[in-house]
A and B are shown apart, each in its own frame.
Chain A
Amino acid sequence: MDCKGLICPRPLFETLKRLKKMDVGKTLEVTFDYPLSKEEIPETVKKQGHEVISMTEENGVWRITIRKMK
């Protein structure tokens, strides 16, 4: 899911809404460029019990892969 150009809290909200609609065990990849989201997204999804598989950054664009766990 592409959240580039979105500011807080849109990337987080879009991620959580998408996760809600997915089946357990499926993975979601989100790209975003709003710096505050780089802490907010992984912290919140982990708190909700999901797994952060990877997070990378390239030229100010973050790419996070999340597995829905429940």
Chain B
Amino acid sequence: MPKATIVLFSGDLDRAFAAFLIASRAAAEGWDVVLLFTFWGLSVIRDPNKRAHKKEFAPRMFDMMMPKGADDLRLSRMHMLGLGTSMMKKRMSAKKLLTIREMIKEAKEFGVRFFACTVPMEIMGIQREEIIDEVDEFCSVGKYLEEAKDADVNLFI
């Protein structure tokens, strides 16, 4: 079976949508798919209902500035103080497409493996306790490369 790895570096609604679409489509075909969340992409897998331990000043700032989970993502372009993002979400729902939160569930249903990169988590002060349960593994770049080296498709989004 073919294999794909996708690095979701960005935390934008549109880019996350593309990443989940490709990941689920490949996994639905039976591909082995790894989706690695890193840097801004970690916003996508933050669980807004989970509480972190006490944080230092800088991580608290990241907390405030970063989207609080999959429902809180913004468009990479034309966010327009929320107007553009809200219009896009309405269009997606009118077209009966799934929300990012639902796409996460569906990707898991198709067997996509979720990895979270620990280095940016350290930098931004994001704790494992704040991450959604769907994440299979917290990993290093080395582990990612191990997966990517024999994959047929490797994407960085």
A residues sitting closer than 8 Å to B (CB atoms) are: 5-7, 9-10, 12-13, 16-17, 44, 47-48
A-B contact count (CB 8 A): 26
Give, as a whole number of angstroms, the nearest-CB distance from B21 to chain A. Answer: 7
Could you say which residues of chain A place their CB within 8 Å of the CB of B110?
A: 16
B residues sitting closer than 8 Å to A (CB atoms) are: 21, 24-25, 28-30, 95-98, 106, 109-110
Contact assessment for B28 and A16 in the assembled complex, using a CB-CB cutoff below 8 Å: yes
Could you say which residues of chain B place their CB within 8 Å of the CB of A12?
A: 28
CA distance A17 to B109 in the complex (A): 8
**Which residue in A5, A9, A17, A47 is a CB contact (below 8 Å) of B25?**
A9
Offer 9 A-B interface pairs, CB within 8 angstroms, sorted by A: A7-B96, A9-B24, A9-B25, A10-B97, A13-B24, A13-B106, A44-B29, A47-B30, A48-B30
Contact assessment for A9 and B30 in the assembled complex, using a CB-CB cutoff below 8 Å: no
Chain A residues touching B, majority SS: helix
Contact assessment for B96 and A47 in the assembled complex, using a CB-CB cutoff below 8 Å: no
Contact assessment for A44 and B97 in the assembled complex, using a CB-CB cutoff below 8 Å: no
Could you say which residues of chain B place their CB within 8 Å of the CB of A10?
A: 96-98
Identity of the chain B residue whose Cβ is nearest the Cβ of A12 in the assembled complex: B28
**Which residue in B28, B96, B98 is a CB contact (below 8 Å) of A5?**
B96
Identity of the chain A residue whose Cβ is nearest the Cβ of B29 in the assembled complex: A44
Could you say which residues of chain B place their CB within 8 Å of the CB of A6?
A: 96
CA distance A24 to B53 in the complex (A): 48
Could you say which residues of chain B place their CB within 8 Å of the CB of A7?
A: 95-97
Identity of the chain B residue whose Cβ is nearest the Cβ of A48 in the assembled complex: B30
Residue from the set A7, A9, A13 with the largest chain B CB neighbour count within 10 Å: A13
CA distance A6 to B95 in the complex (A): 7
Could you say which residues of chain A place their CB within 8 Å of the CB of B29?
A: 44, 47-48
Could you say which residues of chain A place their CB within 8 Å of the CB of B24?
A: 9, 13
With A6-B96, A10-B97 already in contact, 11 other A-B pairs whose C-beta atoms are closer than 8 Å? A7-B96, A9-B21, A9-B24, A9-B28, A10-B96, A12-B28, A13-B24, A17-B106, A44-B28, A44-B29, A47-B30
